[in-house]
C-alpha cells in the first residue's frame, strides 16, 4: 500500500508493522485446472487480465486492497483485504461482502465463471516480511487462515460467498443471511458458524448450478433472479448506494 512506501524508502520497515482489524477475502476464480494448465497464448493472457480487471474493479469500488494473486495447487486464488492503510472504514466488513457478491455475479455474467469466496473478520498482523533483496507487504493471522478454509469449503460445494460468524455479527442488520450451520476446519478445535450473505432463495444467483461439471465449458448462466419482494430489493439497493455515495462525497472533499 502507498501508506507504507515512505518506510521502505527510508529503510525503516519495522515502523510499518502493526496489528489491525481486517476483513479478508480469499477468492478462487473458478477457472478449471484443465484451463489453467493450457494457458499459453497472448489471447489467454488478455483473457486472464480481463478476469483480474473485473475483480479489481469490485474491490477498488469499495476501497479495498488486492494483496496477492496466486496460481498453484489450489487453482487461481486472489487475496483482497479491507482495512489496510490508508483506506480503513468502520463498515469494512459490509464493503467486503458487497465486493465479494459483485465478484461472483460479474464473473458469472461476463466470463461464465463461478468463484468461491471466503470472507472473515479479525485481528491480523500487517507488515513487511522478507529480506532486503526480496520482501513484500503481507498479512498474517487466524482470520487469514480461516478465510482460506472457507474458500476451500465453498469450492467443494457450489461456490459463492461464505463468511464467518464475526463478519455476520457486524453486518447482520444490513444484509439478509442464510445460515449454513457449523463446520469443523483445520486449526480450530470447536466447530464454527458459517453463513451466505444472502437469503436462501438467492443462493442460485451466486453459485454453480447443480448440473455444473468440472470441465472448461459451463452451462449458460441464467439471468439473475429478481428479488422476491420489493422491500428486499429497495433495502439492498439503498444500502449499496449509501456506501457508493460516501465514496463520491469523500473524493469531492479531497479534490
From first to last of its 255 residues, the chain has per-residue pLDDT tens of 666 777 777 767 777 788 999 999 999 999 888 888 888 888 988 999 999 999 999 999 999 999 989 887 668 899 999 998 888 899 999 999 999 999 999 999 999 999 999 999 999 998 888 777 887 888 999 999 999 999 999 999 889 999 999 999 999 999 999 999 999 998 888 999 999 998 888 888 788 886 554 433 333 333 333 334 344 444 444 555 555 555 455 554 554
What is the pLDDT, as a whole number, of residue 241?
53
CB crowding 93-116: b at 16 or more within 10 Å, else e? bbbbbbbbbbbbbbbbeebebbbb
What is the pLDDT, as a whole number, of residue 93?
96
0.75 exceeded by pTM: yes
Phi, psi of 141 (to 5 degrees): 160, 170
> Within a 10 A sphere around the Cβ of 127, how many other Cβ atoms?
18
Which residue blocks in 81-164 are alpha helix, DSSP H? 92-111, 142-156
Q: Which residues are CB-neighbours of 76 under 8 A, at least 6 positions away?
A: 28, 29, 31, 36, 69, 70
What is the pLDDT, as a whole number, of residue 206?
83
What is the pLDDT, as a whole number, of residue 160?
93
List Cα–Cα distances, 85 to 82, 96, 176, 213, in angstroms: 9, 15, 29, 41
What is the pLDDT, as a whole number, of residue 74?
66
Amino acid at each position: 500500500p502507498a501508506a507504507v512506501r515512505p518506510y521502505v524508502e527510508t529503510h525503516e520497515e519495522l515502523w510499518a508493522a502493526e496489528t489491525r482489524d481486517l476483513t479478508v477475502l480469499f477468492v478462487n476464480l473458478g477457472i478449471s485446472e484443465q484451463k489453467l494448465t493450457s494457458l499459453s497464448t497472448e489471447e489467454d493472457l488478455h483473457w486472464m487480465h480481463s478476469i483480474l480487471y473485473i475483480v479489481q474493479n469490485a474491490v477498488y469500488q469499495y476501497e479495498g486492497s488486492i494483496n496477492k494473486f496466486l496460481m498453484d495447487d489450489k487453482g487461481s486464488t486472489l487475496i483482497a483485504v479491507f482495512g489496510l492503510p490508508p483506506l480503513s472504514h468502520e463498515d469494512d466488513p459490509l464493503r467486503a461482502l458487497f465486493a465479494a457478491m459483485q465478484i461472483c455475479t460479474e464473473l458469472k455474467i461476463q466470463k461464465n465463471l463461478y468463484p468461491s469466496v471466503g470472507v472473515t473478520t479479525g485481528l491480523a498482523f500487517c507488515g513487511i516480511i522478507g529480506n532486503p533483496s526480496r520482501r513484500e507487504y503481507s498479512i498474517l493471522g487466524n482470520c487469514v487462515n480461516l478465510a482460506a478454509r472457507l474458500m476451500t469449503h465453498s469450492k467443494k460445494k457450489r461456490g459463492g460467498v461464505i463468511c464467518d460468524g464475526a463478519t455476520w455479527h457486524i453486518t447482520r442488520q444490513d444484509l439478509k443471511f442464510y445460515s449454513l450451520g457449523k463446520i469443523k476446519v483445520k486449526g480450530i478445535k470447536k466447530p464454527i458458524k458459517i453463513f451466505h450473505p444472502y437469503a436462501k432463495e438467492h443462493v442460485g444467483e451466486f453459485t454453480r448450478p447443480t448440473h455444473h461439471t468440472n470441465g472448461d465449458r459451463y452451462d449458460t448462466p441464467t439471468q439473475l433472479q429478481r428479488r422476491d419482494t420489493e422491500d428486499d430489493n429497495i433495502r439492498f439497493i439503498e444500502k449499496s448506494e449509501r456506501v457508493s455515495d460516501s465514496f463520491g462525497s469523500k473524493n469531492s472533499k479531497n479534490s
